[in-house]
Structure 1
């Protein structure tokens, strides 16, 4: 009897991990992003992209648990100027069917397909550091040691298998600009189970642990796609594992082609991080609030100055945080809606020459 129950359980787990959605047919790539020194090339021309983080793009309430509001992905990509870059959440939770628990790529496929239809480029973020918009909880040091090779609570696949399936599925998409291994990595520990910022502890080997993980996770991507660059969503400040010399150690990985910096504090560490790497450095998140605290026009003027400064410093592009289809005008937030004047600023600053 126990054997029968065990077999039944194993069959159930296998069915939950089964991919029920059809593989898209490979298409000839119409765009190619490559690294050239400390900058990016698009189709052989120097490219300084701007754009937005649009984390909600794969939300489809009929398919997945989603994250935030549902977006008309065709309308979103149609609204962007040429040669933009969009960073979005391509987390495993977006590929778990909310009713059956099976792996279903439909919602994520729709993002890549819509971007391709409108000749746009995307950076899929394959996992987050925390459990916002994804299952599995806050990723502690042990996850970076070997937990990433194991199935976490709420997932059907290990991170290792998720990366393999994702790269094999979308490597031929003409919309793919580069892969992002993970957003805002930290190798902290939470001894009492509370992973709030003030309770986290940083082990002395955090940078070495992150570097080893980056090497190995990036190697999986390279094994299945040798053409597209790889990035890692480092914040670039005093985070556990990338503070101080840790940034050089982690970003120096051969698995990182494009470094990142996330700017929510007027770029306090940006010049330092630029000096520490000879790789392109993308400002992957730029957060400036508007709404009740300042007008959208005032924010647009600030962004105009900020992007000019980024370019003068020698960065490789900048992406705003964050597009939402339903901005909150009475709140002080990072929301960027469909009609925000900031979008016109982004269009002016994107260059391909």
Structure 2
């Protein structure tokens, strides 16, 4: 996930500090020993299901909701979690950054789950489903390292200390996160890495024009999906695993490689991320476009979630016009066979005097989420 700019439930407890209760007095729970909750989100062929009923979720990417500057280095402005989750429409879905750095205390350098636990606790209080993304491809808000080919082969298993950001290997972080929060019934599934791309970087920069794609990129990415997915599946057998793909022809998922990697046994839901112009409903060409990805998802009998969709607004476009463009996109994409769409990105402090992807608390896209999040 690129940072572009970036029932009655028991609250989860903390791991470090003086102990006690989180947000309202719920007793702490040892997430490392808690069993996985029953999954409420499933899939059937190309559809997502919520409690067994066909579900087409809309919602928001909210990458910064685990930010707490008293604890971690954060990822944007802090969010009032009860205000955010309390305002969300029913049957919506929130995708968010749950990176290792957001669970490390920047002062002590030790694991500190308080900020992260607060997100899951608030989601549970308000009955809202969440989709955590555990590792960012580009390193934003985490280790600040772009993941190259060798990271997908072995680097993700290696521990490289980063003060205030990393206290274990990425693989151990995936294990730790799933073990801790699998007991929350509001977890819709898991995304191991957002926008995976096993390319190589030239020199000290990893900007797109300086990357090269190794010939075995698809095989490397498929093996990573097999291995990382098996780890998640062993810890939380019922939950869906989301691919995290950007989907537009990136290294490792070009053309038919998308289908090859997406066929991995431990990938349940495919993804596409859409930042195309507002009047383009099904972006991309014949090799890597959204229409092609829908056909590939049908061949695999897996849902295709447009997990990120956004159009800049503010000084460059009125938010009401953006709403109209995106509502039309969602309607066309749903009719074409997608399984849901999540807007990029909620922020508590939108900048109307700039041209950004910000979606504030009063943005008209909230009404679009309410309209398009359908069940049954």
Q: Taking structure 1 as the reference length, what is the TM-score of the superposition?
A: 0.92
In 1: Cα distance, 2:35 partner to 2:259 partner: 37
Contact 2:161 2:168 in 1 (8 A): no
Task: Give yes or no for contact 1:95–1:103 (8 Å, CA) kept in 2.
Answer: yes
Match of 2:291 among 271, 276, 291: 271
Match status 1:283 vs 2:294? no
**Counterpart contact for 1:151–1:157, Cα < 8 Å:** yes
Corresponding position of 1:227: 238
CA distance in 1, matches of 2:161, 2:252: 24
- Rounded to whole Å, the distance in 2 between the matches of 1:49 and 1:140 is 32
* Structure 1 residue 152 displacement after superposition: 2.9
Cα distance in 2 between the residues matched to 1:248 and 1:30: 29
Where structure 1 has 5 or more consecutive residues not aligned to the other structure, the ranges are 1-18
Structural mapping, 1:25-64, within 5 Å: 26=34, 29=37, 32-64=40-72
How far has the Cα of 1:173 moved from its partner? 0.2
Q: Which residue of the other structure, out of 305, 320, 328, is the alignment partner of 2:343?
A: 320
Report the count of equivalent residues: 335
CA contact (8 A) 2:36 2:182 kept: no
Matched-pair contact (CA < 8 Å) for 2:60–2:344: yes
Counterpart CA distance in 1 for 2:29 and 2:254 is: 41
Structure 1 match to 2:363: 340
Aligned-pair Cα RMSD in Å:
1.5
Partner of 2:9: none
Structure with greater helix share of residues: 1
Residue aligning to 1:202: 213
Q: Deviations over 1:168-212 (max 9, x none)?
A: 111110210010011000001113122111101110101100000
Runs of 4+ aligned residues of structure 1 deviating over 6 Å after TM superposition are none
**C-alpha contact 2:36 2:236 (8 A) present in aligned 1:** no
Q: Aligned runs of 1:68-79 on 2, under 5 Å? A: 68-79=76-87
**Which whole-Å CA distance do the structure 1 matches of 2:158 and 2:353 have between them?**
43
* Whole-angstrom distance in 1 between the partners of 2:150 and 2:131: 27
Structure 2 residue ranges without an equivalent (≥5): 1-14, 20-27
Shift of 1:136: 5.0
